[in-house]
Amino acid sequence: MKNSTFLYILIALLGLAHAPIAQNINWRSFDIGQKHILNLNAGFDYGITWGVGYGYKLATKIPIVLNMEYSSPAGEHPFDDLKTKFGAQAEVARLGNFSATVRVMGNFRRYENDLVRLASFGSEISGTIGYFKPRWFVAGEFAHDKAIVTHFKHRPLAREDFPYVHDGWYLPTAGNVSYGIQSGFSFRKNDVYLKIGKVVSQDFKATPMVPFYFQMGWNKRI
């Protein structure tokens, strides 16, 4: 019974371990005076998703943008499952048109199915290295997304099959690593971009049921 309960918890956590796809920035497309970035995006991350985001560019020597983002699966009840993120990204190195960006975010997720409702606090750390021009860019990305602590609230259906499960906080829980490529085109005050990549578990020993992610997005610089 203990092994069955552990398997159930592991399956439930798959609902929280997503690929950290997020708003993308072309640092070379910023004009003087532009500080705000509005973002709309859609893609595939264990299902069809949509999201919105906002970024604020700080007046610092090293380019830094503060970010907040919201995303949710598309479906009949789009706000039942959600993901919110807060953090920052910075261009930490530049050599000609080559650029390296580091992004650090904290996140909160909510996921619910017939068995359990999960609420998770986690972290996302990612890096991007690529070639950026004012009109276009292409880059590779690598990221680690971890659910650090997760609260379980089980449904009656779960207790019928797993009577020994307990509600409460579990620490630590699940995490994934993702890697892929991204590219985009910039014009006037707009950036459009496309991302695609692969997802594996954080121990590199397993892959999720859907081992890839995809996202397309639009930024408006103001």
Overall domain count for the chain:
1
Q: Are 68 and 85 in contact (CB under 8 A)?
A: yes
- pLDDT number for residue 122: 92
| C-beta neighbour count of 158 within 10 angstroms | 19
Does 76 score more than 80 pLDDT? no
Give the pTM: 0.87
- pLDDT number for residue 22: 63
Q: Which amino acid is at 67?
A: N
- How far is Cα 28 from Cα 132, in angstroms, rounded to an integer? 6
Kindly report which listed range (27-41, 68-82, 107-121) carries the lowest average pLDDT score. 68-82
**Which segments of the chain does DSSP mark as H helices, in order?**
2-13, 156-161
- How far is Cα 88 from Cα 105, in angstroms, rounded to an integer? 6
Does 17 score more than 80 pLDDT? no
Rounded mean pLDDT, 104-125: 91
Does 1 score more than 70 pLDDT? no
How far, in whole angstroms, is CA 77 from its chain's centroid?
A: 20
Q: Are 89 and 101 in contact (CB under 8 A)?
A: yes
- Read out DSSP for 175-202? EEEEEEEEEEEEETTEEEEEEEEEEEET
Q: Which amino acid is at 93?
A: A
Domain that holds residue 86: 2-221
Kindly report which listed range (85-89, 172-176, 213-217) carries the lowest average pLDDT score. 172-176
Q: How far is CA 128 from CA 54, 87, 147, 181, 201, in A?
A: 19, 16, 22, 9, 20
CATH classification of the domain holding 22:
2.40.160.20
- pLDDT number for residue 164: 84
% of the chain at pLDDT higher than 90: 61
Angle at 180 between CA 179 and CA 186, to 5 degrees: 135
- pLDDT number for residue 145: 92
- How far is Cα 75 from Cα 198, in angstroms, rounded to an integer? 24
Q: Report the candidate in 195, 127, 116 with the shortest Cα–Cα distance to residue 158.
A: 116
Rounded mean pLDDT, 77-90: 86
- pLDDT number for residue 103: 96
What are the E-state strand segments in 113-163?
116-132, 136-154
Rounded mean pLDDT, 201-219: 87
User: pLDDT digit string (tens) for 126-151?
Assistant: 999 999 999 999 999 999 999 899 99
Rounded mean pLDDT, 190-203: 93
Q: Which amino acid is at 12?
A: A
26 vs 115, which has greater pLDDT? 26
- How far is Cα 176 from Cα 124, in angstroms, rounded to an integer? 10
